[in-house]
Amino acid sequence: MEKFQDWFSKLLQTKGQDILRTKGILDFTGESDRYVFQGVHMLMDASPMGKWPEGKERTSRLVFIGRNLETMNLKEGFENCKSA
């Protein structure tokens, strides 16, 4: 969770003008709850939304709407949040 918060905060500081909207569902290691995530421009919020349903794959997904997204290395940045 901390890695994601650090990465996303830095992303907003450097590219926030081009990020219009973000939303997603996040699976944090060590947490049994799903987290719903949403952001508008340079504001963001994540909160628990209950336990993952039985049998459902625990997968994080983010959606970005904005300008110049292809230059932000979003996939790589997000993937780096998973590393130990």
pTM, to two decimals: 0.82
20 within some domain: yes
Judge whether 31 and 46 are in contact, CB under 8 Å: no
Which residues, 6+ apart, have CB-to-CB distance to 62 below 8 Å?
22, 23, 24, 26, 37, 74, 78
CA 8 distance to own-chain centroid? 7
12 within some domain: yes
Please provide the average confidence, as pLDDT, over all residues in the chain.
Answer: 90
Write the pLDDT tens digit of every residue in 11-51: 988 998 999 999 999 999 888 999 998 988 888 888 999 99
pLDDT recorded at residue 44: 86
81 within some domain: no
Q: Count structural domains, the chain.
A: 1
pLDDT recorded at residue 46: 87
* Amino acid (1-letter code) at residue 43: L
pLDDT of 84 higher than 60: no
84 within some domain: no
pLDDT recorded at residue 42: 83
Looking at residue 23, which CATH number applies to its domain? 3.30.1220.10
